[in-house]
Chains A and B, each alone.
Chain A
Amino acid sequence: MSKPSDLVQGTLDMLILKIVALEPLNGWAISQRLKQISGDVLAVSDGSLYPALHKLERRGWIRAEWKPSENNRRAKYYSPTRLGRKQLERESANWNRVSAAISGIVKLEQA
């Protein structure tokens, strides 16, 4: 399985952070949410979701907790740490700036 490119990788981190920042979710729910949000545009395979989750956990951006899920089985729920929320803010601001700049350039070419 090929590794996602850096752009997608970084984006994936941000997306995951954003999703779990809304409410603590388990892996399955995150994968469903990812598909809903990004549709087919960002084809995030479930295979790359889980390593990304563990990487974020190791970095201390999200924390995991085993809790009963809606069907009463224990599942691993992820939520952002304070550090993660800060990272999300930083990344979002960054993203907005860069995407604004890029779309500016793109529009310029169109004109």
Chain B
Amino acid sequence: MNLEQWFYSLPVRFRTFFHRKQADQEIQAELRQHLDRQVSENTAKGMSPDEARRSAMIALGGVTQIEQQCREARGNNALDDLARDLHYGFRQLWRSPGFSALAILCLTLGIGANAAVFSWVEGILFRPYPLVAHQERIYAVAGTVQGQTNGDFLSWPDFLDLRRNCTFCEDAFVTSITGSTLNVGDHAEVTTGSIVSANYFEAIGVHPVLGRAFQAGEDVGSDSRPVVVISYQFWRDRFNSDPQIIGQTQRLKNVPHTIIGVAPEGFYGTFVGRAIQFWVPASMEETFHGGGYKLEDRGARWIESYVRLKPGVSRAQAQAQISAFAARLQNDYPATNRGRSIKLWALWETPFNHAGELLPILEVMVAVVAFVLLIACANVGNLLLLRAFVRRHEMSVRLAIGASRLRLVKQLLSEGLILSALGTVGGLLIAYACRHALVLLLPTGVGSSMYLPGQMDTRVIAMSIGLCLLVTLMVGIIPAFQTRHLDVAGPLKADSSSVVGARGRAWIRSGLVVFQVSLSFILLVGAALLLESLQRIRTTSPGFSTTNVAVTGVSLVAAGYELPRARTFQNELIDRLSGLPGIESSAFAAVTPLGYMTYPSSPIAVDGYQPSPDEQPELEYNQVGPAYFATLGIPLLSGREFVRSDDESAPLVAIVNRTMMMRYWSGQDPIGLRLQVKGRWARVVGVATDSKYESMSESPKPFFYLPLEQDPSREPDLNIRTTQPLDTTLAAVLHEVHALDQDLTLYETITLHEQVNRATSPQLVAVTLVSLLAGLALVLAAVGLYGVMSYTVAQSSRELGLRMALGAGADNLLRLVLSRGLRLTGAGILFGTVIALALTRLLGKILYHVSPHDPLLFGAALVVMTVAAIFACLLPAWRAARTDSARVLRE
């Protein structure tokens, strides 16, 4: 039918459907009029009234049949049938509320888990940035170093050249996460901000609700434009939605910034994992990051950049252009760009925010919730199957009085539709409630500062409705399949009960149980692997001691300390702390390992080390104070620690780690040899053992340390080795800090143990989620097994009675039922093992030092599954053992 036909035909169809009664009455009225006319015509011809009527009726034919034919001609039978089926289905389900509630609960959990994970995937990976226009065309741009797969930052000059040269890009913009401390009462509060290019708001299509966005040129120069756009929440919470906010100043990093705009409500910036509270132009970079002016330094890589491709441009096209451009940069600027390329990343792979690390977890979650849903469907299918069997009389009767099989199948499907629709509604509500739940799984401290919203948009809802229809088919088709076996006479005759071991029709039910057991076994294996991996990662030594070390910070910048004053303060504080009871040593360091701060990096050169033509050695390093290694418990292999006298007037020195010694000095002790950092030569004075720097799962990498005094950082963290509890230490440190300056405050204080836990929180999230869902799956599978075994026992009571009468003891019957249940479980575990062996490889990216085929963990999953199965079969088996043979045989 084409559009025009629909245009004319739809009103008629709607009328017929929604005003059925009136339409019927009209048909009757029309036919009655016809009859009346015919009768009066006949009378006029001279017939008697009776004869006239009879003759008219004959001429027209059976009025009732014609009415029916007219109704059929008007159509709408499909819609009509559906409405009737749904009505009937509701009545059926209403009649067995226990069954319905159980089925709906199963589906709610199954669909809810899926919808929740969809909403996380949508909100974190696919549409991570609310209000940002055309996210589907936005890609992250990161640099890559030859031979490595991870992406890192670009430099500002590289970015400007890229923006000029990328003709396939509609726009390109920069962000760089930063933070600032604001004094709130007696403690310092960290706010999260972004350093952005001036075109940022324009490029993402977000317009301030108050004031203006940045103007061209505001990202040029060194610390030249102290202006800030604040987030809506920041404006509401800190400034009580002051309408006169524009033009006021806010101190950030101790520099007064003029507030020029307020971002719209619901805009959280463009950094997965954090809600950004303020934006400053790139010209303020030095204020926030320190470490010198970088806008003209091609070697200083600090920006997270994004491009939006023009409509119709493919990623491959743009990548080709950008690769060619990066090759030109290598040519033109070998000193800084040798061996470097530039790569586009889809938003969900973004290397410089939390998307990249959440991606493998969410991938696994999508598979896991799909399994849970399949198990739930199998359960509901099984329940429906049991009901179909109970209702076979009714079905046979309906067949006998002329219902077509298709109508029966439609009827069963519509019951499935009702169940899955209610399950979907429940599931969407669950997902809506859980949309912000991901952060709850993170340890407090990490969770409170993270922002990982789920997104319940039309795509998620559409996906859920799609699932609903799929589920309808799956759960509806199973009992519908069974109607093939229905014949009109069979069930109307005497009931034939089955036996425990009987095959035959029970195979569908048994098959479903085997299917459920397989799936939940796979999930158990996954959970066991992840649990073991978390265990290993948490017990792996990070290379520094995690006990007895606390880390805190002093709000020097917020209090207006300049560098020389800060240095004096740091030395005085260390001296004061060394006299305190329980404090063994303390040291400042620019970056705390495994934190969210990135390490500074520098191109290096080593005497006698010849880099390959396309290699520009560049390493990360940390700036640390005297006694740092003693405080963190990092053993030195040779040489010495930094000391107080390694200051700006002394010769430059460095400490390297073991991997760096192996790589650049071929394993020879480098003490006394030279290392070039940032163009200046330093002497190596010590070699430290390898430790973990950015993540617990990283492999050993070359790394070095410079003295804080020779490469200063304005606000380093304070590390304290103490035998006292954290609170006592904290109080003592705060006391000493206040003794030096009443205006200073301490940042959050945590132990290195806690730091390790935070660093492994993504693994914790994965373990928690998978374990929860594996537990749910186990319960669902056990319920399924229980249902089938109970049903089998109930159906075969006659056989059991007979066995008993022939001398079988209660324990024989118990064993009979248990062994049947365990046979099903065994088959499920067997299938599950085969599939799990193939599937657990997908966990590879998350697993740490655990083989995805670890036989011990498979064994553990097997034990858990078997125990659950025994519990599920115990009650039915016990019922079987208590069969009253005399009563059963009499019936």
- Asked if chains A and B come from one complex, the reply is yes
Using CB atoms and an 8 Å cutoff, list the residues of chain A in contact with chain B. Answer: 1, 26-28, 31, 45-47, 50-55, 57-61, 63, 66, 73, 75-76, 81, 83
List residues 41-85 of chain B with CB under 8 A from any CB of chain A: 59-62, 65-66, 69-75
User: Given A51-B69, A54-B27, A60-B9, 8 other A-B contacts at CB below 8 A?
Assistant: A1-B62, A26-B33, A28-B34, A28-B37, A51-B66, A57-B12, A58-B75, A60-B7
Q: Is B34's CB under 8 angstroms from A46's CB?
A: yes
Please tell me if B18 contacts chain A, counting CB pairs below 8 Å. Answer: no
Instruction: Report the minimum CB–CB distance from A16 to chain B (whole Å).
Output: 13
Once bound together, how far apart are the Cα atoms of A54 and B26, in whole Å?
Answer: 11
**Chain B interfacial positions (CB closer than 8 Å to A):** 4-9, 12-13, 16, 26-27, 29-31, 33-34, 37-38, 59-62, 65-66, 69-75
Most buried by A among B16, B30, B61, B70: B30
Residue in contact with B72 in the complex, picked from A28, A46, A51, CB distance below 8 Å = A51
State the 3 A-B residue pairs at the shortest beta-carbon distance, nearest first: A60-B8, A47-B61, A60-B9
**Could you list 20 A-B pairs, sorted by A, with CB under 8 Å?**
A1-B61, A1-B62, A1-B65, A27-B33, A46-B59, A46-B61, A50-B27, A50-B69, A50-B70, A51-B66, A51-B70, A53-B70, A54-B70, A58-B73, A58-B75, A60-B7, A73-B33, A75-B33, A76-B26, A76-B30
Contact assessment for A27 and B34 in the assembled complex, using a CB-CB cutoff below 8 Å = yes
Within the assembled complex, what's the spacing in Å between the Cα atoms of A76 and B70? 14
- The interface centre, meaning the residue of B4, B7, B9, B37 with most chain A CB atoms within 10 A of its CB, is B37
A58 and B70: CB pair below 8 A? no
- With CB as the reference atom, state the residue of chain A lying closest to B7: A60
List of B residues within 8 angstroms of A27 by Cβ: 30, 33-34
CA–CA, A55 to B27, complex, Å? 13
Nearest CB in chain B: distance from A74 CB, A: 8
Given contacts A1-B65, A28-B34, A59-B5, contact A46 B60 (CB under 8 A): yes
**A45 in contact with B61 given A51-B70, A54-B27, A58-B12 (CB within 8 Å):** yes
Q: Given contacts A46-B60, A50-B31, A58-B9, is CB(A83)–CB(B73) below 8 Å?
A: no
- Expressed in whole angstroms, the minimum distance between the Cβ of A73 and any Cβ of chain B is 7
Complex interface: chain B residues within 8 A of A28 (CB): 33-34, 37-38
Per DSSP, are chain B's interface residues mostly helix, strand or loop, or mixed? helix
The listed residue with most A CB atoms (<10 A of its CB), out of B9, B31, B38, is: B9
Q: Assuming A45-B61, A46-B59, is B70 touching A61 (CB within 8 A)?
A: no
Nearest residue (CB) in B for A61 is B8
Contacting residues, chain A, for B65 (C-beta < 8 A): 1, 47
- Docked Cα-Cα span, A1 to B34, in Å, equals 19
| Closest beta carbon of chain B to A51's beta carbon, Å | 4
The closest CB in chain B to the CB of A59 belongs to: B9
Query: Within 8 Å CB of B27, what residues of A?
Result: 50, 54
**Residue A50 contacts which of B4, B7, B30 (CB distance < 8 angstroms)?**
B30
Give the residues in chain A near B71, CB-CB below 8 Å: 54
Q: Check B60–A52 contact: CB distance below 8 A.
A: no
Residues of A within 8 A of B31 (CB): 50
- Smallest CB-CB separation from A86: which chain B residue? B4
- How far is B60's CA from A108's CA once the two chains are assembled, in angstroms? 41
Residues of A within 8 A of B60 (CB): 45-47
A61 and B7 alpha carbons, distance in the complex (Å): 11
Q: Report chain B residues within 8 Å CB of A58.
A: 9, 12-13, 16, 73-75
Residue among A27, A45, A46, A83 having the largest count of chain B Cβ atoms under 10 Å: A46
Residues in A whose Cβ lies below 8 Å from that of B66: 47, 50-51
- CB of A83 within 8 A of CB of B34, answer no
How many angstroms between the C-alpha atoms of A52 and B59 in the bound complex?
A: 17
B4–A83 touching, CB < 8 Å: yes
Bound CA–CA A75/B26 (angstroms): 10
Question: Smallest Cβ distance from A63 to chain B, in angstroms?
Answer: 8
Nearest Cβ on chain B to A61's Cβ, whole angstroms: 7
Bound Cα distance from A60 to B33, whole angstroms: 24
For the complex, give the distance between the alpha carbons of A32 and B27 in Å.
19
In the complex, A55 Cα to B75 Cα: how many Å?
A: 8
**Residues in chain A near residue B75, CB distance under 8 A:** 58
- Chain A residues with Cβ under 8 A from B29's Cβ? 76
Q: For the complex formed, measure the closest distance between the CB of A58 and the CB atoms of chain B, giving whole angstroms.
A: 5
Give Cα A26 to B62, complex, Å.
20
Complexed CA–CA distance, A77 and B70 (Å): 16
Residues of B within 8 A of A59 (CB): 5, 8-9
B60 to A, closest residue via Cβ: A46
Q: Are A83 and B74 in contact (CB under 8 A)?
A: no
Chain A contacts for B4, CB-based, 8 A: 83
Give, as a whole number of angstroms, the nearest-CB distance from A45 to chain B: 6
The residues of B that contact A53 with a CB separation of less than 8 Å are: 70
- CB-nearest residue of chain A to B59: A46
Asked if A54 contacts B74 (CB within 8 A), the reply is yes
Nearest Cβ on chain B to A22's Cβ, whole angstroms: 20
The answer on a CB contact under 8 Å between A60 and B5 is: yes
Q: How far, in Å, is B38 (CB) from chain A's closest CB?
A: 8
How far apart are the CA atoms of A76 and B31 in the complex, in Å? 10
Contact between B33 and A52, CB atoms less than 8 A apart: no
Query: Chain B contacts of A45 at CB under 8 A?
Result: 59-61
- In the complex, A75 Cα to B30 Cα: how many Å? 7
Q: List B contacts of A46 (CB < 8 A).
A: 34, 59-61
Least Cβ distance of A82 to chain B in Å?
A: 8
Query: B610: shortest Cβ distance to chain A, in Å?
Result: 84
Contact indicator A31/B34 (Cβ below 8 Å): yes
What A residues does B16 contact at CB under 8 A? 58
Q: How far is the CA of A27 from the CA of B27 in the complex (A)?
A: 11
Bound complex: CA A50 to CA B30 (Å): 9
Chain A residue numbers with a CB within 8 Å of B26 are 66, 76
Q: How far is the CB of B740 from chain A (nearest CB, A)?
A: 89
Contact: A54 with B61, CB < 8 Å? no
User: A83 — nearest CB in chain B belongs to which residue?
Assistant: B8
Q: How far is the CB of B14 from chain A (nearest CB, A)?
A: 11
Bound: A63/B5 CA distance, A: 13
- Complex: how many Å from CA A107 to CA B71? 44
Residues in B neighbouring A57, C-beta threshold 8 A: 12, 74
A53 to B27, alpha carbons, bound, how many Å? 11
Given contacts A57-B12, A60-B9, contact A52 B61 (CB under 8 A): no
Pair B73/A54 contact, Cβ less than 8 Å: yes
Instruction: Give CA–CA (A7, B4) in the complex, Å.
Output: 26
Of the listed residues A31, A54, A63, the one surrounded by the most CB atoms of chain B closer than 10 A to its CB is A54
B72 contacts which chain A residues (CB < 8 A)?
A: 51
B52 → chain A closest CB, angstroms:
15
Q: How far is the CA of A57 from the CA of B12 in the complex (A)?
A: 7
**Docked CA distance A46–B65 (Å):** 13
Q: How far is the CB of A77 from chain B (nearest CB, A)?
A: 11
Contact B73 A55, beta carbon cutoff 8 Å? yes
Residues on A with C-beta less than 8 A from B73 are 51-52, 54-55, 58
Closest to A66 in B: B26
CB-defined contacts of B69 to chain A, threshold 8 Å: 50-51
Complex Cα–Cα for A101 and B156 (A): 82
CB distance from B331 to the nearest CB of A (A): 69
Min CB–CB distance A26 → chain B (angstroms): 8
**Chain B minimum-CB-distance residue to A62:** B8
B28 CB → nearest A CB, Å: 11
Assess A83 versus B70: contact at CB under 8 Å? Given A28-B37, A47-B60, A47-B61.
Answer: no
Q: Which residue of B lies closest to A56 (CB)?
A: B73
Q: How far is the CA of A57 from the CA of B30 in the complex (A)?
A: 14
User: How many whole Å from B258's CB to the nearest CB in chain A?
Assistant: 67
Give the CA-CA distance A36 to B66 in the complex, in Å: 23
CA distance A60 to B9 in the complex (A): 4
Q: Which residues on the B side are within 8 Å of A47 (C-beta)?
A: 60-62, 65-66
Residues of B within 8 A of A73 (CB): 33
Inter-chain CA distance A51–B63, complex, in Å, is: 12
Question: What is the CA–CA distance of A41 and B869 in the complex, to the nearest angstrom?
Answer: 79
Chain B nearest CB from A57 CB (Å) reads 6
CB distance from B6 to the nearest CB of A (A): 8
Chain B residues within 8 Å of A60, by CB: 5-9, 12
CB distance from A68 to the nearest CB of B (A): 12
Smallest CB gap from A84: residue in B:
B8
Residue from A47, A52, A53, A63 with most neighbouring chain B CB atoms (10 Å): A47
